Amino acid sequence: MKNIDWSKLGFHYTEPDYIVRAACHNGVWEEPYATQDKYIHLHVSATCLQYGQEAFEGLKAFRGVDGKIRLFRWRENARRMARSAEGLYMTPVPEELFGKAIRLALTKNMDFVPPYETRATLYFRPLLIGTTPRLGVGPGRDFEFIVIPSPIGPYYPGKFHCTTFVVNRHVDRAAPFGTGQFKVGGNYAASFRATEPAHAQGMDCLFLDAKYHRYIDECSAANFIGIKKPTPPLPEGKEVIEYLTPRSSAILPSITNDSLMTLARERGYKVTRRHIRLEELAEMSEAAACGTACVISPIDKVVDPDTNRIYTLGTEPGPVLSELYHALRDIQFGRSPDTHNWTEIIDN
């Protein structure tokens, strides 16, 4: 194992020994290979540079309580990257090639998988770029697939805590029926004009739908979750808690959100995906952003500067989201049975 101070890792890049690469020409993918060369040798007119023909993913490997290493739902990442590729007229990476590349990146960097007790993980950033030189507007025919591993620390190095979000009606992250449903770099670059000012104030950004600016879309780079309890409360034992998440053609289908919805249904919660008006925050007992990096990032309040309204949700993570957070982490770290076959155990 590498001599790394695992306790000081954050969500930032740490140089691994190897990355993994594979090239595609005329629709045919070559076998992935490991290399210590961390640089891309790219023509200046490549379509990824000229026209943003690029997609990426994010997933993790966990060293469990039993010492075994688990990859979490990598097939879903492969399928989502394939959808992103098709949306940008790129040749999709075959699912089995994607898995082979992830496993190779893991085995060649086994010393970078953090110890269980640190709560840190090995993060993978699969990247797909268009490499065809082109000046005329249009898609390329050549591509490179790269898997970049890096150990990262827990999103919450201390206590599981809440974050304040600010509503932004003046910047649209992605348009309906645009590229919002794909994991492409342009969506994130488009959000910087809103997220950077929010971060400078110690907050994160809540985006509304681009058409009406009325419905909750995404939390910065993550899906939104809201928890609603019946009003007025029903007799004890008959309450149905509702797990709410937005339905929109402009947001990325989150694998973490999908996992949490499954766990919520198992616990008897009502899971609803629909348009959510911003004002409904007043009816929620809990809310959070969710994604690969944080799993769940609870929201303590949402500030709406255009209406001078503040929606208060609680200074501590609520019981429902805390339960779901720990349930998913227990599966990822091997503390609970994986009844959904979400993890793949890798020999180490």
Q: How many CB atoms lie within 10 A of CB 191?
A: 21
Q: Are 329 and 52 in contact (CB under 8 A)?
A: no
What pLDDT, in 10s, does the model give residues 258-294? 999 999 999 999 999 999 999 999 999 999 999 998 8
What's the chain's average pLDDT?
A: 94
239 phi and psi angles, rounded to 5 deg: -70, 140
For residue 347, what pLDDT is reported?
A: 83
49 phi and psi angles, rounded to 5 deg: -85, -40
User: How far from the centroid of its chain's Cα atoms is residue 338's Cα?
Assistant: 21
Of 221, 200, 213, 199, nearest in space to 170 by CA: 213
Tens of pLDDT, residue by residue, the chain (348 residues) = 788 999 889 889 999 999 999 999 999 999 999 999 999 999 999 999 999 999 999 999 999 999 999 999 999 999 999 999 999 999 999 999 999 999 999 999 999 999 999 999 999 999 999 999 999 999 999 999 999 999 999 876 667 789 999 999 999 999 989 999 999 999 999 999 999 999 999 999 999 999 999 999 999 889 999 999 876 666 666 678 999 999 999 999 999 999 999 999 999 999 999 999 999 999 999 999 999 988 999 999 999 999 999 999 999 999 999 999 999 999 999 999 999 999 999 987
Q: Which structure tokens are listed for 310?
A: 């503040």
Predicted structure pTM score:
0.95
